[in-house]
Chains A and B, each alone.
Chain A
Amino acid sequence: MDEKLNDLYRDILMDHYKYPRGNKNLDNFDLENEGYNPACGDDIHLKIRLDGGKIDDISVDCIGCAISVASGSMLADIVRGKSLEEVIKIAKAVKAMLKGEKLSEDINLGDLEALKGVSKFPVRIKCALLSWTTIIDALEARQAGQKAEISRTE
Chain B
Amino acid sequence: MSKVGEKTTAMPAPEIMPGGGIDPDLVKQDFPVLRQSINGHPLIYLDNAATTQKPVAVIKRLQTYYESDNANVHRGLHTLAERATDAFEATRDKIRSFINAGKREEIIYTRGATEAINLVAYTYGRQNVGPGDRIVITRMEHHANLIPWLELARQNKAELVYIPINSEGYLDLSEIDTIINNRTKIVALTHMSNVLGTINDVEEITALAHKKKAVCLIDGAQAVPHMPVDVQSLGADFYVFSAHKMLGPTGLGVLYGREELLQAMPPFNFGGEMISEVRFDKVTWNVLPWKFEAGTPAIAEAVAFAPALDYLENLGMENIRRHEIELTAYALSRLSELKHLTIYGPQNPEHRGGAIAFSDDKIHPHDMATFLDTQGIAVRAGHHCAQPLTRLLGVNSTTRASFYIYNNTNDIDTLHEALLAARRYFGHG
Q: How far is the CB of B366 from chain A (nearest CB, A)?
A: 4
Question: In the complex the two chains form, is A1's CB within 8 Å of B367's CB?
Answer: no
Q: Is A63 an interface residue (CB 8 A)?
A: yes
Of B93-101, B157-165, B348-356, B368-376, the segment with at least 4 beta carbons within 8 Å of chain A is B368-376
Q: Verify B382–A65 contact, CB threshold 8 A.
A: no
Q: Which of A23-31, A37-45, A145-153 contacts B (4 or more CB under 8 A)?
A: A37-45
A109 to B426, CA, bound (A): 25
Q: In the bound complex, do residue B41 and residue A121 qualify as a contact, i.e. CB atoms below 8 Å apart? A: no
Mask for A8-24, Cβ within 8 A of B = 1, else 0? 11000010011000000
Contacting residue for A40 out of B371, B375, B396, B426, CB 8 A: B396
Are B41 and A65 in contact, with the CB atoms below 8 A?
no
Per CB-CB distance, the 8 closest pairs between chain A and chain B, nearest first, are A41-B396, A65-B364, A1-B374, A65-B366, A1-B39, A5-B374, A66-B367, A65-B367
Query: Does A124 count as interface, using CB distance less than 8 angstroms?
Result: yes
Asked if B396 contacts A63 (CB within 8 A), the reply is yes
Instruction: Enumerate chain B interface residues (CB-CB to A < 8 A).
Output: 39-41, 363-367, 370-371, 374-375, 381-383, 387, 390, 395-397, 425-427
- Bound together, the chains give a CA A4 to CA B425 distance in angstroms of 13
Residue numbers in B under 8 Å from A121 (CB-CB)? 370
The answer to whether A40 and B370 touch across the interface, beta carbons within 8 angstroms, is: no
Contacts of A47-68 to chain B: CB distance below 8 A: 63-67
A9 to B395, CA, bound (A): 23
Contact B382 A39 (CB under 8 A): yes
Provide the residues of chain B in CB contact with A139, threshold 8 Å: none
Q: Which residue of B lies closest to A65 (CB)?
A: B364
- The contact sample of 9 A-B pairs, CB cut-off 8 A, is A5-B371, A5-B374, A14-B427, A38-B387, A40-B366, A41-B397, A63-B396, A64-B364, A64-B396
Alpha-carbon separation in the docked complex, A1 to B374 (Å): 5
A46 to chain B, nearest CB (A): 18
Tell me whether A94 is interfacial, beta carbon within 8 Å: no
Residue pair B425, A5 in contact (C-beta under 8 Å)? yes
A-B contact count (CB 8 A): 52
In the bound assembly, the distance between CA atoms of A18 and B382 in angstroms comes to: 22
The answer on a CB contact under 8 Å between B40 and A43 is: no
- A147 CB to closest chain B CB, in angstroms? 25
Cross-chain contact A40 with B382 (CB below 8 angstroms)? yes
Choose from B40, B367, B375, B383 the contact partner of A41 (Cβ within 8 Å).
Answer: B383
From residue B367, how far is it (CB to closest CB) to chain A in Å? 5
Chain A residues with CB below 8 A from B396, complex form? 40-43, 63-64
Smallest CB gap from B374: residue in A: A1
- Cβ of A97 within 8 Å of any chain B Cβ, yes or no, is no
A43 to B397, CA, bound (A): 12
CA distance A42 to B381 in the complex (A): 13
Tell me, in angstroms, the Cα distance from A8 to B387 when the chains sit together: 27
Which B residue's beta carbon lies closest to that of A41?
A: B396
Q: Which residues of A contact B395 (CB under 8 A)?
A: 41
Contact check, A124 vs B41: say whether CB atoms are below 8 A apart. Answer: no
Q: Is the CB of A4 within 8 A of B374?
A: yes
Name the distance in Å between B184's Cβ and chain A's nearest Cβ: 31
Instruction: Say yes or no: is A127 at the interface (Cβ < 8 Å to chain B).
Output: yes
Q: CB within 8 A of B367: which of A2, A18, A38, A67?
A: A67
Contacts of A66 in B (CB 8 A): 363-364, 367, 426
CB distance from B415 to the nearest CB of A (A): 15
CB-CB under 8 A from A41, the residues of chain B are 383, 390, 395-397
Given contacts A1-B40, A4-B374, A124-B370, 13 further A-B pairs with CB under 8 A are A1-B39, A1-B374, A14-B427, A17-B426, A18-B427, A40-B381, A40-B396, A41-B390, A41-B396, A65-B365, A66-B367, A67-B366, A121-B370
Looking at the assembled complex, report how far the CB atom of B428 sits from the nearest CB atom of chain A, in whole angstroms.
Answer: 10
In the complex, chain B residues whose CB is within 8 Å of the CB of A63? 396
Q: Which of B370, B383, B390, B427 contacts A8 (CB 8 A)?
A: B370
Q: Determine how close the nearest CB of chain B comes to the CB of A55; give it in whole angstroms.
A: 28
A5 and B382 alpha carbons, distance in the complex (Å):
20
Point out the residues of chain A lying under 8 angstroms from B365, CB to CB: 40, 65
Contact residues in A for B426 (Cβ distance below 8 Å): 9, 14, 17, 66
Which residues of the other chain, A, contact B366 by a CB distance below 8 angstroms? 40, 65, 67, 124, 127
Q: How far is the CA of A66 from the CA of B364 in the complex (A)?
A: 7
